[in-house]
Amino acid sequence: AGRLPLSGRHVLVTSGPTHEPIDPVRYIANRSSGKQGHAIAAAAQTLGARVTLVTGPVDLPDPEGVTVQHVETAREMLAAVEAALPADVAVFAAAVADWRAATEAEHKIKKGKGASPPALALVENPDILSTVARRSRQRPQLVIGFAAETDKVVENAETKRKSKAVDWILANDVSEGSGVFGGDRNRVHLVTAQGVEDWPEMSKTDLAAALLGRAARYLAQAKGS
């Protein structure tokens, strides 16, 4: 077999939502389906990479030929990501919960007759993307994030790219009616230090292939590789 564009490379991908427990039966979550992240992992594998996919709870099969780490919480996701380093490319497609319950109740929280509902105190979760992008040791050569925005999509993504020390951001409009969450299609703007490219609407599979093809060309052109 001929050498594929990502032969010899390790690609690390996060996907899906995270579940943040409140008590043994309840959790905080979000609407991420994992379709885009899983498609990215599969595309990297097709291009010849060794792939590690760290995924939150999703209804999708593990992509073939990919090492899959299943996690529930943001903190578990961060630990699995760090354990998977080094990587040449890291793509952060997971919709990590921004907050988790400050404490996880050991027993199911009971509804009290006439009592007021319990207060839910939240604390911030680690930002996995920026933690990895700011590493001095074992920072992947190419760190890619997503920015799901409902307003000022590109502007907010440019700010995010810089504040999180990310190389590329894929900005997408997830406002109501865009159909991105759970859908099969996506439309993104690729935001890099060189500027912004508006990509046409395409399937999440085609987007994954385009992105990984682009990443392969970037690695091939980068000095010392």
Residues noted as catalytic: 30
Q: Answer yes or no whether residue 145 interacts with ligand C5P by CB under 6 A.
A: yes
Cα 103 to Cα 204: distance, rounded to the nearest angstrom:
36
Q: Answer yes or no whether residue 188 interacts with ligand C5P by CB under 6 A.
A: no
Cα 89 to Cα 105: distance, rounded to the nearest angstrom:
38
Among 12, 43, 74, 180, contact with ligand C5P (rule: CB under 6 A): 74
Q: Answer yes or no whether residue 140 interacts with ligand C5P by CB under 6 A.
A: no
* Smallest gap from residue 208 Cβ to ligand C5P (A): 14
Task: Tell me the CB-side half-sphere exposure of residue 212, using CA atoms within 13 A.
Answer: 34
Among 44, 90, 129, 180, contact with ligand C5P (rule: CB under 6 A): 129
Cβ partners under 8 Å of residue 96, min gap 6: 14, 17, 18, 56, 74, 77, 125, 127, 128
Among 51, 53, 96, 209, contact with ligand C5P (rule: CB under 6 A): 96
Q: CB under 6 A: which stretch of 124-132, 172-180, 189-197, 209-217 binds ligand C5P?
A: 124-132
Query: If we measure between CA atoms, which residue out of 93, 98, 53 comes closest to residue 74?
Result: 98
Among 32, 52, 73, 125, contact with ligand C5P (rule: CB under 6 A): 125
Instruction: For 111, list phi and psi in degrees, rounded to 5.
Output: -80, 125
Q: Which two tokens stand for residue 209?
A: 């292939």
Contacts with ligand C5P, residue ranges (CB under 6 A)? 14, 74, 92-94, 96, 125, 127-129, 145-147, 160
